[in-house]
Amino acid sequence: MKYAQSVLDLIGHTPLIKLNHVTGDIKATVLVKLEYVNPGGSIKDRIAVKMIEQAERDGKLKPGGTIVEPTSGNTGVGLALVAQQKGYKCIFVVPDKVGEDKRAVLQAYGAEVVVTPTSVAPDSPQSYYSVSDRLVSEIPGAYKPDQFSNPAAPGSHYETTGPEIWNDTDGKVTHVVIGAGTGGTITGTGRYLKEVSANRPESDGGRVKVIGADPAGSVYSGGTGRPYFVEGVGEDMWPANYDKTVPDNVIAVSDADSFEMTRRLAREEGLLVGGSSGMAVVAALEVAKDLGEEAVVVVILPDSGRGYLAKIFNDKWMRSYGFLSGGEEASVGEVLK
């Protein structure tokens, strides 16, 4: 009989798939690592399991304990599913700008969601940060993983994501392209791949090059932290988990280019992924266009496109922000009019 002992056994070991259509006449092999096949639907399941197991080992989480994290997105889903399997409670603090469907996903996994007003100063007692800190101090046995600074987050990618890429390419990967949000993925995966390839001869590709993909405006690619629409990546500050020495280069990508590529990945490659995936592929093709056929470029695609149907995959939303140029086909409603 072949079965998993629990949903936790299905985290990681995600597949690599070759891009065949959006690559045009690029000679290099461009492979994407599909993280939406994780049980919680994103790469964040990996850090959830490691942060919780590390906290158990450190005695910070004990049976019956409560996990409190200010997150509305993929990390919340990962933490919620790992926590329930291990018998912990979860409370997520989310600002009220977060859509109801996102809150509903967390509640569906059995987590409690506390909604805080967006329109208050960060030091207000009602703010997202203040409320989560207060809950941690008031609830006995509460633990806040803090994905921005927890070393188990990059650690999980050093132990799993990096080795998977190395092994699945038989040690032939030459470039890895990764979007950075908290920085955990690029720091852990990039560090592992650089270390393992440190002595590889130049004739076999030399040391793996780590390329960051970043929304234009974010600090990682030299921006001021001005707003952008791609979700989950970029920052307006430098988190502890982002190690600046790991990326060899960081490429800024516009919202428009990220979203156009996200839509092409669905239509042309059969990959319904999120906007940060489209962004990373734009950066990867930028790198790959100057490389020869011996190059193997691996791009991490962090989550699924299902969470973005009302935005990136909605023509009306795209047009309202000027992301859709005239050539795109009209939506069904417009055709019927």
Q: Across the strands, what pairs with 112?
A: 91
Q: Which is nearer to ligand PMP, 232 or 247 (CB)?
A: 232
Query: Does residue 234 bind ligand PMP (CB under 6 A)?
Result: no
Which one among 155, 190, 212, 274 touches ligand PMP, defined by CB under 6 A? Answer: 274
Least Cα distance to 35 among 80, 5, 81, 74 occurs for 74
Least Cα distance to 231 among 41, 34, 49, 72 occurs for 72
Which one among 12, 41, 65, 73 touches ligand PMP, defined by CB under 6 A? Answer: 73
CA-angle at 214, arms to 210 and 219, nearest 5°:
105
CB of 133 to ligand PMP, least distance (A): 21
Return d(Cα 234, Cα 1) in angstroms, integer: 44
Q: Which residue is nearest to ligand PMP (CB)?
A: 232
Query: Does residue 179 bind ligand PMP (CB under 6 A)?
Result: yes
Window of 2-10, 14-22, 179-187, 262-270 that interacts with ligand PMP by CB under 6 A: 179-187
What amino acid positions are annotated as catalytic residues? Answer: 44
Which one among 76, 145, 184, 205 touches ligand PMP, defined by CB under 6 A? Answer: 184
Q: How far separated are the first and last CA of the chain, in Å rounded? A: 55
CB of 232 to ligand PMP, least distance (A): 3
Q: Which is nearer to ligand PMP, 124 or 314 (CB)?
A: 314
Q: Which two tokens stand for residue 257?
A: 């280019």
Q: Which is nearer to ligand PMP, 47 or 295 (CB)?
A: 47
Which one among 67, 82, 90, 233 touches ligand PMP, defined by CB under 6 A? Answer: 233
Q: How many CB atoms lie within 10 A of CB 330?
A: 10
Q: Which is nearer to ligand PMP, 40 or 65 (CB)?
A: 40
The DSSP secondary-structure symbol of 329 reads P
3-class DSSP state of 1: coil
Least Cα distance to 185 among 239, 265, 131, 255 occurs for 239
Q: Which is nearer to ligand PMP, 71 or 205 (CB)?
A: 71
Binding mask 14-53 for ligand PMP (x = CB under 6 A): ----------------------------------------
Read off the amino acid at residue 306.
R
For ligand PMP (CB under 6 A), the number of binding residues is 16
* Alpha-helical runs (H) found in the chain: 44-57, 74-86, 100-108, 128-138, 152-156, 162-168, 184-196, 255-269, 275-288, 315-320, 332-336
Tokens 């800190």: give the residue. 133
Query: Does residue 180 bind ligand PMP (CB under 6 A)?
Result: yes
Q: Which is nearer to ligand PMP, 176 or 295 (CB)?
A: 176
Give the binding site for ligand PMP (CB under 6 A). 73-74, 179-185, 231-233, 274, 276, 302-303
